[in-house]
Structure 1
């Protein structure tokens, strides 16, 4: 029997975070609502929590909130640390999937000896949850500014049979970025042949520093399009290791130049790893630092300047050292 309310805890900085989930009639409201201390959560926090719940449920093969219902997520305070996404996910499993065997009250954490969870059972990892066939691809892109880092975009795909229609969503980001990503992918897909398979698609962004909800520029476009194409089997079928890409387009399949060549090359020098594949705009040919290609080769990275998508054939795949 499905519990009406679940309550899970986790360590959050120096305090204990409580996460309460329940379902209620939607009455036309959003599928997921996030509250913090009895008030609507700030947009960045709401986007992060909604995105996490939406991504995990999508990958597990079910909706976070059934049709006609709203999932209400109440937080005792703003989350901190690394345990809260796991606590959120286990709470959602306990609420939506009674077959998981998870209790309505529990605790999630990386430390089995932690005392903060009291008498509650402590879980360190999500139990396996069978779901339909799922394809996921992640592509990195250099993000420059005050704190340069390699960000990433991840695409998850579920094939759907008629009469179901294809669907494309972006979770965990500001609405304007979500719209821009959907517009970009739809434009790129329009340059392809007529699709044989219909897909339910979900994308999310992230970085080592945490969730990415909003950023400026358009150099993420190539990474997002490649993540979408790879996860649908349209590009790089034998890819191994990380793929890093920077580029945009006003008319796919062509790839346009983007700003920040020197800064992005400096970031790639610092953060590229052995076995990485790096795709940069063909238009950067004359702007690349003189020794950049040699430096990437020395780091056992494969650098390719590209002018359009659909460029890398299976025979081009290189084994990771």
Structure 2
């Protein structure tokens, strides 16, 4: 039954009835993009379709002049012989599940998703279907996330401890999604918050979409000799160990990632602190999400 709706090709998931691909790996005529992360939204497609919430950040990630069509969550579109709608995935701003209906058969492609609440994006919506194509980034029983309040209590305590020691606090997280979730979750009353240039533009795009985030400044906006010891600096992982961090003097680094649940990963990265916070489902949530779809067939991607 699944093959009637979707098939796997050398370019990715393809819907023959609708003549479109979902998160294709190589250039195609029409691509439906679940979200703006580069492993899902690739350059070179003749035409893109994404959620209306995703358009602003997607344009920042694709080539100038990319042709992007949008669809509001829950709105339907007929593409040849397929009925398509997008539904919130809860991964990052604008992230969408793709519902495809052909001849009464329904397939849902999750893209990346999480079921935890997140003030920076629309909440995951379970969709009933015959076939569910799910991610499994953390699809092992060892991955079980702590409550978000506990995670951000840890981050806030680390920041305060660094202040007491006269150290700048450098919080590492992916520039799109994780950085904005971190900004929304920390206690902004503790001290000033700065962002890396790679984080700034995307954060402004979130604000333009109505996402409430605390005031931030870019690092270059302050004069030489600024006392960084009270500050939190949000930066992408690539900034760790680079010449860019030298300006902060004595500092401590923490990395927000689901991979920080593995002690060996923290050691290999030589981090001062690893905090397990993920924008993907953990093991219990993955099983719960699959069950909620009622799907007869489940395709698992990694």
TM-score bucket of the superposed structures, by smaller chain: under 0.3
- Give TM-score, length-normalised by structure 1: 0.25
Length-normalised TM-score, structure 2? 0.26
More relative contact order in 1 or in 2 (CA 8 Å, sep 6+)? Answer: 2
Rg comparison, structure with higher value:
1
